[in-house]
């Protein structure tokens, strides 16, 4: 149907026409009845507004969702960009871990990446200090890769250089993780690592978890560590005891007692060292502190342990305990050790037992006549009445070498003979060949050595090592400090001349009898209690030149024997390498190996 409505033409049905007419007519001013005319204008206006509203809503829906406010993120830092590159290459399996450097063995490891901007330690440390959440997540992933490597690969991969580099990288990674401010994050992660049981990988992760808990030293750490004291892997049990030793306290001492029966000798020795350290603290706070007799008896039985590491640690614990009930067992142990009736018989352990007996009883017998101790003990009417003698007080004299007190039964002097030792001291005006021997650094050292050796007490054993490009030992065995031997040593000292480079690693390898690096041996440090090292320069020749690699190698080899390494540093005249700057290498060497450090400025 086609009709005209108010001047408009359209095809509509009758109902639609009426509706349109009803809305439009008020706008055309055509008269209608009064009621309709009065109500239509307001309705028309409302309709217009409704139409505009519906149209705006429809336009909004047709044009899509409203744009969200733009958030400008901070641009990634240089460190974060580098970490992202590494994470991507790690996950793709397209990365080699360390640069093989055959020309400079022992050099610092670097990431094998053409775009790498940081050495290993700089990247780990910088990421930890930056503290970005994304950086920390990537850092944790990369660090875990290094910290959970298979140690068998360390000894076969030339890039790892027998594991020394890789162990050093592990230490840097662990330090970086422990330095993260979010302690709860690292604690939770360490606890999760302790629960990892995935074969060989799980062993390395549990070890890392135990180490991190020791680094954090939280109050709850000992209770998390205790459940791994019976771990199937000795390296995990060792990490637990090391962490408990760093945490310290009565709780740690109680938790470690079951480890005295551990099947691994290194773990047993470490447990004894922890107990000795805690006993020293108690005695310093209370000299009258009583040690349970049951514990004394238990440790006394360890004087016949199959490992000399354990026997040495037992003697040192008894030295602190000073209980006369141990005297009969010490006498029997001295006979066994001296006559070599025990496995891994050690002159060092025999000397330590004899020294302790002299301290406890006030008696003294020649070292080559250990049966005299047995005769003396059997001559006593009642053994239980043996009373400990008073230990040496403030007036008891001990010789020293540049401020390092020489107390131990066996001392090895390791002296630098490199060319720089021929230079005058820092305060001398003489130069080169015109200087007298007495005014050179070596001349001053020779005078101090003669004084120190001349004052060694009878019963003290010593030997000498001089090194430059190579290292050589004087006698090759320890000799008692008798007047005749002291005189021979003085003549040998006076004959030494300076010259050559500085092979510091060879000196320490000779002193400790390290042998093959990276493989712990019961021979290391079996004869010497104290090494006194004196040097004036950086390592400039030999197998290892990097101080960090030398520190790690020597400290790892000396871990179980625990020979004290004292370090005396004479500032060198010049740096041996272009651009080299002094580092506290000798100070760190002494700190890691229980020794004293002295810096001597010769004027």
CATH number, domain with residue 458: 3.40.50.410
Rounded to whole angstroms, how far apart are CA atoms 275 and 147?
Answer: 29
The yes-or-no verdict on residue 159 having pLDDT over 50 is: no
Give yes or no for a contact between 313 and 341, defined as CB atoms under 8 angstroms apart: no
Last residue of a domain, one of 319, 354, 389: 389
Residues 352-380, mean pLDDT to the nearest whole number: 88
Higher pLDDT, 51 or 404: 404
The segment with the largest mean pLDDT, out of 56-70, 88-102, 329-343, 504-518, is 329-343
- pLDDT reported for residue 507: 93
Degrees, nearest 5: CA angle 502-505-508: 110
Residues 433 and 579 in one domain: yes
Rounded to whole angstroms, how far apart are CA atoms 527 and 497?
Answer: 28
Residues 382 and 417 in one domain: no
In angstroms, what CA-CA distances link 557 with 80, 524, 525, 589?
37, 7, 9, 13
Q: Is residue 330 part of a domain?
A: yes
Q: Is residue 164 part of a domain?
A: no
Residues 320 and 352 in one domain: yes
Q: Which domain holds residue 580?
A: 400-599
Residues 306 and 426 in one domain: no
Residues 429 and 573 in one domain: yes
Rounded to whole angstroms, how far apart are CA atoms 467 and 417?
Answer: 6
Q: Is residue 323 part of a domain?
A: yes
The yes-or-no verdict on residue 170 having pLDDT over 90 is: no
> Biggest alpha carbon distance in the chain?
147
Q: Is residue 149 part of a domain?
A: no
Q: Is residue 349 part of a domain?
A: yes
- pLDDT reported for residue 267: 95
DSSP 302: G
Q: Is residue 255 part of a domain?
A: no
Residues 421 and 318 in one domain: no
Question: Lowest-confidence range among 97-101, 368-372, 505-509?
Answer: 97-101
- pLDDT reported for residue 581: 41
Higher pLDDT, 469 or 86: 469
User: What residues contact 564, with CB distance under 8 A and at least 6 apart?
Assistant: 408, 529, 530, 531, 593, 594, 595
Q: Is residue 86 part of a domain?
A: no
**How would residue 110 be classed by pLDDT, with cut points 50, 70 and 90?**
very low
Secondary element (H or E) of residue 247: helix 234-247
The segment with the largest mean pLDDT, out of 338-342, 378-382, 429-433, is 338-342
DSSP 424: B
Residues 353 and 482 in one domain: no
The yes-or-no verdict on residue 153 having pLDDT over 80 is: no
Number of compact structural domains in the chain: 3
Residues 457 and 516 in one domain: yes
Rounded to whole angstroms, how far apart are CA atoms 547 and 299?
Answer: 38
Residues 363 and 441 in one domain: no
Q: Is residue 514 part of a domain?
A: yes
Residues 343 and 491 in one domain: no
**pLDDT tens, 256-306?**
999 999 999 999 999 999 999 999 999 998 888 888 999 999 999 999 999
In angstroms, what CA-CA distances link 559 with 303, 553, 562, 564?
20, 10, 6, 11
Last residue of a domain, one of 354, 389, 424: 389
Residues 75-101, mean pLDDT to the nearest whole number: 64
Residues 411 and 536 in one domain: yes
The yes-or-no verdict on residue 589 having pLDDT over 90 is: yes
DSSP 392: P
Buried b (16+ CB within 10 A) or exposed e, 480-515: bbeeebbeebeeebeebebebbbbbbbbbbbbbbbe
pTM strictly above 0.75: no
Last residue of a domain, one of 346, 368, 389: 389
Residues 427 and 547 in one domain: yes
Question: Lowest-confidence range among 66-80, 153-167, 183-197, 577-591?
Answer: 153-167
């Amino acid at each position: 149907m086609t009709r005209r409505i108010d001047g408009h033409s359209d095809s509509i049905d009758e109902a639609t026409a009426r509706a349109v007419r009803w809305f439009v007519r008020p706008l055309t001013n055509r008269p209608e009845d009064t009621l309709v005319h009065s109500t239509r204008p307001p309705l028309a206006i409302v309709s217009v507004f409704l139409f505009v509203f519906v149209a705006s809503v429809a336009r909004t829906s047709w044009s899509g969702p409203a744009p969200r406010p733009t958030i400008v993120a901070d641009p990634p830092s240089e460190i974060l960009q580098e970490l992202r590159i590494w994470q991507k290459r790690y996950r793709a399996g397209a990365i080699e871990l360390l640069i093989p450097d055959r020309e400079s063995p022992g050099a610092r490891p670097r990431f094998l990446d053409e775009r790498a901007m940081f050495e290993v330690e700089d990247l780990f440390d910088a990421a930890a200090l930056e503290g970005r959440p994304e950086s920390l997540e990537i850092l944790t992933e990369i660090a875990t890769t290094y910290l959970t490597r298979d140690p068998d690969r360390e000894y076969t991969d030339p890039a790892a250089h027998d594991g020394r580099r890789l162990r050093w990288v592990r230490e840097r990674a662990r330090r970086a993780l422990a330095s993260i401010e979010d302690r709860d994050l690292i604690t939770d992660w360490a606890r999760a690592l302790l629960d990892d049981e995935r074969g060989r990988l799980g062993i390395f992760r549990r070890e890392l978890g135990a180490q991190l808990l020791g680094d954090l030293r939280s109050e709850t750490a000992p209770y998390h560590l205790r459940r791994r004291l019976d771990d199937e892997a000795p390296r995990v049990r060792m990490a637990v005891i090391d962490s408990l030793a760093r945490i310290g306290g009565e709780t740690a001492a109680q938790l470690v007692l079951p480890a005295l029966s551990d099947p691994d000798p290194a773990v047993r020795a470490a447990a004894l060292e922890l107990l000795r350290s805690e006993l020293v603290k108690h005695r310093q706070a209370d000299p009258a502190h009583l040690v349970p007799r049951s514990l004394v008896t238990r440790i006394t039985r360890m004087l016949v342990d199959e490992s000399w590491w354990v026997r040495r640690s037992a003697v040192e614990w008894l030295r602190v305990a000073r209980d006369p009930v141990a005297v009969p067992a010490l006498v029997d142990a001295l006979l066994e050790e001296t006559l070599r009736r025990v496995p891994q018989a050690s002159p060092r352990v025999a000397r330590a037992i004899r020294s302790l007996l002299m301290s406890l009883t006030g008696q003294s017998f020649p070292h080559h006549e250990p049966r005299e101790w047995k005769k003396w003990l059997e001559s006593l009417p009642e053994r239980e009445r043996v009373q400990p003698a008073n230990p040496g007080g403030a007036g008891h004299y001990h010789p020293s070498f540049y401020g390092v007190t020489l107390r131990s039964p066996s001392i090895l002097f390791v002296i630098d003979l490199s060319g720089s030792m021929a230079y005058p001291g820092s305060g001398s005006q003489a130069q080169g060949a015109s200087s007298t021997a007495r005014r050179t650094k070596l001349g001053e050292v020779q005078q101090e050595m003669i004084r120190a050796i001349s004052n060694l007490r009878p019963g003290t054993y010593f030997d000498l090592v001089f090194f430059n490009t190579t290292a050589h030992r004087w006698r090759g065995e320890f000799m008692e400090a008798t007047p005749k031997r002291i005189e021979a040593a003085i003549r040998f000292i006076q004959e030494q001349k300076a010259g050559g480079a500085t092979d510091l690693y060879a000196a320490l390898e000779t002193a400790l009898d390290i042998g093959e690096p990276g493989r712990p041996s019961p021979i290391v440090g079996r004869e010497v209690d104290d090494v006194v090292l004196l040097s004036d320069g950086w390592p400039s020749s030999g197998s290892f030149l990097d101080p960090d690699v030398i520190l790690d190698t020597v400290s790892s080899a000396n871990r179980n024997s625990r020979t004290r390494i004292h370090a005396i540093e004479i500032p060198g005249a010049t740096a041996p390498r272009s651009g080299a700057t002094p580092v506290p290498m000798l100070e760190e060497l002494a700190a890691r190996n229980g020794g004293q450090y002295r810096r001597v400025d010769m004027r």
